[in-house]
Amino acid sequence: MKKIASTVLLLSILITLFAPVGQAAGQAVSQAPKLFLDGVELKPLVNPKIINERTLVPVRVLSESLGYDISWDNPTRSVTIEGDTQLIRLVIDNNIAMVNDHFVEMDTQAILENGTTLVPIRFIGEQFGLTFEWNQEKREVHMFKPENAEPETIAATIKGIGYNNMNELIILHDGDLKLDRSFYLSNPTRVVFDFKDAAYTSELAATFVSGESKTTLEGHPFMNSFRYSQFQKTPSIARLVLDVTENVGYKLDSEPGLTRLTLISEEDTDTEPGVTIPEDSDSSSENGNGNGNGNEPEKPVVTDPNAGKKYHIVIDAGHGGTDPGAASVNKKYEKEFNLNVALKVKALLEKEPLLVPHLTRETDVFIALNDRVQFAEDLGADLFVSIHANSILNNSSVNGTETYYSRADSKPFADVMHKHILGATKLKDRYVKQADFRVIKSTTMPAILLEVGFLSNANDANTLFKAETQDRIAAAIVAGIKEYLKLS
């Protein structure tokens, strides 16, 4: 609280200092306009400015007051403004804006002045559905959010965040704490968690130093410290940052009043970092609390709200043991092909930090169809992929790749996967089809069955039993899973 008071004092001094400058230059630069959002005056640190009858505001106004995501790209001198519905890219000193991949000509342009990016507020606001009124006499810009805009809400109030020595951070809170996004940043390496519509109790906020609370952990294998802050006020976002020595996996469990963040060391999971770490020189800006200079907000690479969630994938090698599956014209059995590919998929999935493979069989053993279904259900698996090869009697010319789904909710997964498998087999397209095969009918997660090719056809069979084809098929299965889960 003390800190806030001194900041206000500093501001008033700054304003006093600048005031004469503004007056001295009064002839050239008109008095700064005031900004209002739904009747409430916004007081940005850097004054808005009117140039050629257009109001330019510090870009930070957009993120802090209007809740848009801002990112700055230095090489191209461009700023990207992202809201729920629109993505706008402006280049400094350029009157061509890009709005959702369309070029739009503006009657003004963004400028860079004394290290602050100023952007045309009306042009941007109108893209996001705001309405504007200009009061010439009072020199006031009034912005109004659309009628249906959601009211600002605080869904969760955080009462405390602590570490329990079991690689778990415990967040105590009232209300419903929802993770909005999580992502990695580099230099130093850290993991950032943003909780939307979340604030801190005034008692907790009173303990913040420089806008954050920081706890240092001595001798922890991979975490040096954790800290939390009120990253943004409108909408309210609480941010938790872990300073780590390596990228870590995590699991988030919620129960009423308590959210448990379990951290998994990379060594434990034996995975590779799956999230690219952006170049980021400004290591302190993730605790943005309104005091930054506003023109170089950092750009998170991952903004998916599901980022960090681990997906459990069941890979089902068809047949096995006393059930050899279809016989191949090259004297091999379908069960061998299925298992080879499944094991290759497993090896690839183990390299994916967010994907956890589970095989219904890893050896040549008979597994009942119902046990395969039960295996996936007991796991609460997210996806189910059954690997098979096809066969027909008396027509060795039949060939090609098919992908099956049973329940309608599995069709999108089948469509995505089929495209990848076809690319890997380069066999004839026999399309995505619906059929009620047991393992895809009785499971409850998106489930598909691949009939990769015909072992009754010499060309298909020879292709499918080549190691390189199996490698390609395995990679295609992983690619299909990742595309479906939007991880690629």
Partner 1 sequence: MMKMKAGSLLAAIALSAALAGCGAADKLPAPSNNTGAAASPQETTAPTEAPDTIEAVIYTSDAELLKLTERTETLSYSSNEELVKAAIDALRQSGGENELSLWEKIEINGVKLTADSVTIDVHVPDEARLGAPGEALAIHSLQSTLFQFDFIQSIQLLIDGEKAESLMGHVDLDHPMNRP
For partner 1, the binding residue among 1, 21, 104, 368 (CB under 8 A) is 368
Is there binding between residue 123 and partner 1 (CB under 8 A)?
A: no
Which phi and psi angles does 141 have, rounded to 5°?
A: -100, 120
The one segment of 173-181, 186-194, 302-310, 434-442 that binds partner 1 by CB under 8 A: 434-442
Tokens of 419: 């495209």
Smallest gap from Cβ 402 to partner 1, in A, equals: 7
284 to each of 68, 231, 306, 361, 378, how far by Cα in Å?
A: 20, 12, 25, 49, 44
**SS3 assignment, position 477:** helix
Smallest gap from Cβ 454 to partner 1, in A, equals: 7
For partner 1, the binding residue among 84, 133, 176, 436 (CB under 8 A) is 436
Is there binding between residue 120 and partner 1 (CB under 8 A)?
A: no
Dist CA 68 CA 83 (whole Å): 5
CB nearer to partner 1: pick between 347 and 368: 368
Residue burial 355-390, b: 16+ Cβ < 10 Å; e: rest: bbbbbbbeeeeebebeebbebbeeeebbbbbbbbbb
Question: Cβ neighbours of residue 78 under 8 Å, at least 6 residues apart?
Answer: 72, 89, 90, 91, 92
Strands 102-105 and 96-99: antiparallel
Smallest gap from Cβ 436 to partner 1, in A, equals: 8
Dist CA 132 CA 121 (whole Å): 10
For partner 1, the binding residue among 274, 288, 308, 325 (CB under 8 A) is 325
Q: What's the 3-state SS for 383-409?
A: EEEEEEEECCCCCCCCCCEEEEECCHH
For partner 1, the binding residue among 437, 472, 476, 482 (CB under 8 A) is 437
CA atoms within 13 A on the CB side of 440: 28
Is there binding between residue 319 and partner 1 (CB under 8 A)?
A: yes
Is there binding between residue 393 and partner 1 (CB under 8 A)?
A: yes
For partner 1, the binding residue among 45, 398, 458, 475 (CB under 8 A) is 398
For partner 1, the binding residue among 87, 111, 149, 369 (CB under 8 A) is 369
372 to each of 96, 143, 195, 319, 338, how far by Cα in Å?
A: 57, 58, 38, 11, 14
Question: Cβ neighbours of residue 359 under 8 Å, at least 6 residues apart?
Answer: 314, 315, 316, 317, 342, 343, 346
Is there binding between residue 454 and partner 1 (CB under 8 A)?
A: yes
The one segment of 45-53, 118-126, 163-171, 321-329 that binds partner 1 by CB under 8 A: 321-329
Smallest gap from Cβ 298 to partner 1, in A, equals: 50
Q: Catalytic one among 402, 451, 468, 483?
A: 451
Is there binding between residue 382 and partner 1 (CB under 8 A)?
A: no
CB nearer to partner 1: pick between 264 and 329: 329
For partner 1, the binding residue among 74, 85, 394, 468 (CB under 8 A) is 394
The one segment of 6-14, 155-163, 173-181, 438-446 that binds partner 1 by CB under 8 A: 438-446
The one segment of 143-151, 194-202, 353-361, 368-376 that binds partner 1 by CB under 8 A: 368-376
Listing DSSP states for 437-464 in one string gives -HHHHS-SS-EEEEEEEETTSHHHHHHH
Smallest gap from Cβ 435 to partner 1, in A, equals: 6
Tokens of 162: 């602590």
Residue of 483, 390, 488, 381 whose CA lies nearest to 440: 381
Give the torsion sign (CA, 68, 73, 74, 77): negative
Smallest gap from Cβ 463 to partner 1, in A, equals: 16
Is 246 tagged catalytic? no
Nearest-5° Cα angle at 165, 162 to 169: 35
Is there binding between residue 323 and partner 1 (CB under 8 A)?
A: yes
CB nearer to partner 1: pick between 76 and 434: 434
Range 53-72, binding partner 1 (CB under 8 A): none
CB nearer to partner 1: pick between 2 and 331: 331
Is there binding between residue 391 and partner 1 (CB under 8 A)?
A: yes
Q: What are the residue numbers of the active site?
A: 451
Chain positions contacting partner 1, by CB under 8 A: 318-319, 323-327, 333-334, 368-370, 388-395, 398, 402, 404, 433, 435-439, 442, 449, 451, 454-455
